A = this chain, B = another copy of it.
Amino acid sequence: MSEESAKNLKALREKIDDIDHKILTLISERANCAQQVAEVKKTFDADAFFYRPEREAQVLRSVMDSNQGPLNDEEMARLFREIMSACLALEQPVKVAYLGPEGTFTQAAALKHFGHSAISIPMSAIDEVFREVEAGAVNYGVVPVENSTEGVINHTLDSFIDSPLQICGEVELRIHHHLLISDTTKKDKISRIYSHAQSFAQCRKWLDSHYPHAERIAVNSNAEAAKRIKSEWHSAAIAGDMAAELYGLEKISEKIEDRPDNSTRFLIIGNQAVPASGDDKTSIVVAMRNQPGALHALLEPFHTHNVDLTRVETRPSTSGTWNYVFFIDFIGHVDNDDVSKVLTEVGSRASELKVLGAYPKGVL
């Protein structure tokens, strides 16, 4: 190292130390403010709960708006979630039940949303998550809601029909699958594909049409699949960006999952109605008698009032009262005028209407 480099490094490190000291002071000051907020709230509500999904979403959005790099918005949001999580835990750590076991994407979603200062606990079934929240043993639950092929969605949505719980938020984890090969693989001779069983399920159609004759071997994780193919010239793996980068593999087909729109979405469920944050979504469930044009009639008010639908899911009813059940997500909050007009009109056309929750749109 030259003398000049050494001098430069020393100066930079001193600057970093100085910045760290300022960050430390500010985080402590923020934690103090958070404690004061809690004190004020306690004066008018002894059982006040301090986690406010709409406020958190606003803070994160504003952080991302002001962020000029070099860290990307997602990383910066992650750091702020952790800072908020630590400040909140001072007063009252959030308790969260999630669909386990540990190490699943649902746990990752819970930690992404609530930060690592939250107490999170795995449950073995979706109804158990609902029960724990209903019983008040935990403050929130995290359940997967859109992961197409595994059939979990249906179960999750059905649980809402008879539950008093509301949706308080959503989390999206961006997960894409690619077909990967190593530098020794012969592209036109792929006879074997490794992946995790769940990933195979999510790419089944694509595989059936592109590699109908390749043997599919399920291994413990996508990372393991990626590792395996390094030494096999006739093999490919299905895995995500991280594994591709880690093992230096080439993506010969990107985003091969069958339903690209809905990789993995999770819902936060709780007892709390969440005020509008300024950029919200609402989820409802509607029952209609089975008659021609029913769905069209149902969706018309959304069109008239210019409310954006983000998702419509049709399910046969499980009980007598519900002939057909539609789960509908749209942009806006039940407190918005347009939305309340739409809901009144939809309510008059449907045999039943239940608002499952209005909540901040998932922040990155």
Extra 9 A-B pairs, beta carbons < 8 Å, given A20-B30, A24-B76, A124-B220: A5-B43, A8-B40, A9-B41, A20-B63, A21-B66, A28-B67, A75-B86, A78-B86, A79-B79
Provide the main secondary structure of the chain A interface. helix
Q: How far does the alpha carbon of A22 sit from the alpha carbon of B83 in the complex, in Å? A: 13
Most chain B beta-carbon neighbours within 10 Å: one of A2, A90, A95, A121: A121
In contact, A9 and B40 (Cβ under 8 angstroms)? yes
In contact, A103 and B95 (Cβ under 8 angstroms)? no
Most chain B beta-carbon neighbours within 10 Å: one of A30, A66, A221: A30
Contact of A33 among B19, B34, B63, B67 (CB under 8 A): B19
Chain A, 74-104, CB within 8 A of any chain B CB: 75-76, 78-80, 82-83, 86-87, 89-90, 95, 100-104
In contact, B24 and A66 (Cβ under 8 angstroms)? yes
Contact of A37 among B12, B80, B82 (CB under 8 A): B12
Q: Is A138 an interface residue (CB 8 A)?
A: yes
Chain A, interface size: which category? Answer: 35 or more
Interface residues, chain A, CB within 8 Å of chain B?
1-2, 5, 8-9, 12-13, 15-17, 19-24, 26-37, 40-41, 43-44, 55, 59, 62-63, 66-71, 75-76, 78-80, 82-83, 86-87, 89-90, 95, 100-104, 107, 116-117, 119, 121-122, 124, 137-138, 220-221, 223-224, 242-243, 245-247
Known: A30-B20, A90-B71. Is A79-B80 also a contact (CB below 8 A)?
no
* Residues on the B chain within 8 Å of A13, using CB: 37, 55
* Residues on the B chain within 8 Å of A224, using CB: 124
In contact, A28 and B71 (Cβ under 8 angstroms)? yes
Q: How far does the alpha carbon of A30 sit from the alpha carbon of B86 in the complex, in Å? A: 21
In contact, B27 and A71 (Cβ under 8 angstroms)? yes
* Residues on the B chain within 8 Å of A24, using CB: 63, 66-67, 76, 80
* Residues on the B chain within 8 Å of A138, using CB: 246
